[in-house]
Amino acid sequence: MFAIGHFAIGYIAGKASAKTLGIPVNMPLLLTASVIPDVDLLLRFLDHRGPTHSLITMAVLLIPFLIYYRKAAVPYSVALASHSLIGDLTGGTQLFWPLSTRDFSAIDIDVASPLNATLELTLFIISIALMLKTRDLRKIPTDNYRITLILPFGAVLGPMLAAGRGVEYTLPPLLVVPSLFYLALFAYSMIVRLRKR
């Protein structure tokens, strides 16, 4: 799944958990959490969908945040976990690394396929509609921690530039408009942050 789908799933899952707990959510942090596992695309010595996508790795990293921030950390933890548990189970993920390097896959959908692009576009439309309804879209340029949007910005820009590890990471044409939307939103949000300093 490309960043577009991860943002949508992370937002929907994180927002649902925040609403259940009755706590506010920081939109830049939520969107950033939804793509953190893909940092392995920058770390060429790691297999994609390997250690950074492992539930064990996530648990080790999240436990201190959950202990310190308690329920306030839950939406971000949910968004992070949704990356591997929902978004990347279409192509296989090493969910239990380092205990196992076996790829777990719920359904085999090629990330570059028209089916995947259509699924991500649908998720994008649903999530943007929810963001508009809840006014969360307006919070992205104004919430604290907007500088963390540099990671989601890169997650969107990389496939647009075909900077991934092969053809499978080249952005399908169907996802170009949603990608441009997020690039503009993230760039604007980070520029607003820098101008206020």
Return the residue matching tokens 């919430």. 143
| pLDDT for res 192 | 79
- Note the pLDDT tens digit of each residue in 129-151: 999 999 999 999 999 998 999 99
- Which residue from 89, 87, 121 is spatially nearest to 10, judged by alpha carbons? 87
**Tokens describing residue 134:** 């809840």
Which residues have CB under 8 Å from 41's CB, separation 6+? 48, 158, 164, 165, 169
| pLDDT tens column, 99-137 | 998 888 877 788 878 999 999 999 999 999 999 999 999
